[in-house]
Amino acid sequence: MTGGFFITGTDTGVGKTCTAIALMHALQRQGKTVLAMKPVAAGCLMQEGGLKNDDALALQSHASLPLPYPLINPYAYAEPVSPHIAGAHNPVQLAVVTRQFALLKSQSDCVLVEGAGGWFSPINSGQSNADLAAALTLPVILVVAIRLGCINHARLSQLAINQSGLPLVGWIAVCTEPNMSYQQDNIAFIGACLAVPLLGIFPYLSVVDFDFLANQLDISALGIGCPPSIS
């Protein structure tokens, strides 16, 4: 069964990459061949072979198959600023991303695609992550960092995802702060507002352990492994 998911978040730095890797582990445990992309990344360092980004390198290293870096991250921008600024010299073309996604999809059971920033963060001067997810016609998973303000961000994100017509198939609560008060109350409130499956709660970890995080996931709501993409 081929398919994939678009991993978006309430913001940048909310746990999208960690969640994507934990999901990769959970799906791989079910015997699935799982690949992941970070199509657009700003904040890349020149390394052997070109500009590379930490998120994309992490996704590459946890993939079920060895993949060339540019296939995972076709748009790697040096400056750690919004892609519409960092990539002004080489703007994202959705056709390039969809072509590479199709190539990865043809080799796997599931491709996870990590967005850049949040749902409406721009990927070029005229398009946002919403356009990217729509071009890939993927069901969406929302990562919510449990911190002050997260209820508003989660509800706004859901509204915007719904507006795109793509299904929001689940959300994940990531406790990126060690001592937030009323963490469970916030998670329960968001769960009631979103009313889509809570796929997992990631507690605060001083050292992130992907196997542990995969154990916190219940991906049964996603269907057997991955559903087909919705095109």
Ligand X SMILES: Nc1ncnc2c1ncn2[C@@H]1O[C@H](COP(=O)(O)OP(=O)(O)O)[C@@H](O)[C@H]1O
Positions 10 through 29 that interact with Mg ion (CB under 5 A): 16-17
38 among known catalytic residues: yes
Sign of torsion, CA 204 206 212 213?
positive
Positions 41 through 80 that interact with Mg ion (CB under 5 A): 55
Q: Which residue in 3, 6, 18, 34 binds ligand X (CB under 6 A)?
A: 18
Q: Which residue in 82, 107, 137, 176 binds ligand X (CB under 6 A)?
A: 176
- Residue 87 in contact with ligand X, rule: CB under 6 A: no
b/e map of 119-145 (b: 16 or more CB within 10 Å)?
Answer: bebbbbeebbbbbbbbebbbbbbbbbb
The rounded distance, in Å, linking the Cα atoms of 29 and 225 is 10
- Residue 194 in contact with ligand X, rule: CB under 6 A: no
Q: Minimum distance from CB of 195 to ligand X (Å)?
A: 23
Residue 205 interface partner, choices Mg ion, ligand X, none, CB cut-off 5-8 Å depending on type: ligand X
Q: Which residue in 13, 126, 149, 223 binds ligand X (CB under 6 A)?
A: 13
b/e map of 151-188 (b: 16 or more CB within 10 Å)?
Answer: bebbeebbebbeebebebbbbbbbbbeeeeeebeebbe
Residue 137 interface partner, choices ligand X, Mg ion, none, CB cut-off 5-8 Å depending on type: none
Q: Note whether 110 and 225 are within 8 A (CB).
A: yes
Residue 12 interface partner, choices ligand X, Mg ion, none, CB cut-off 5-8 Å depending on type: ligand X
Catalogue the active-site residues: 38
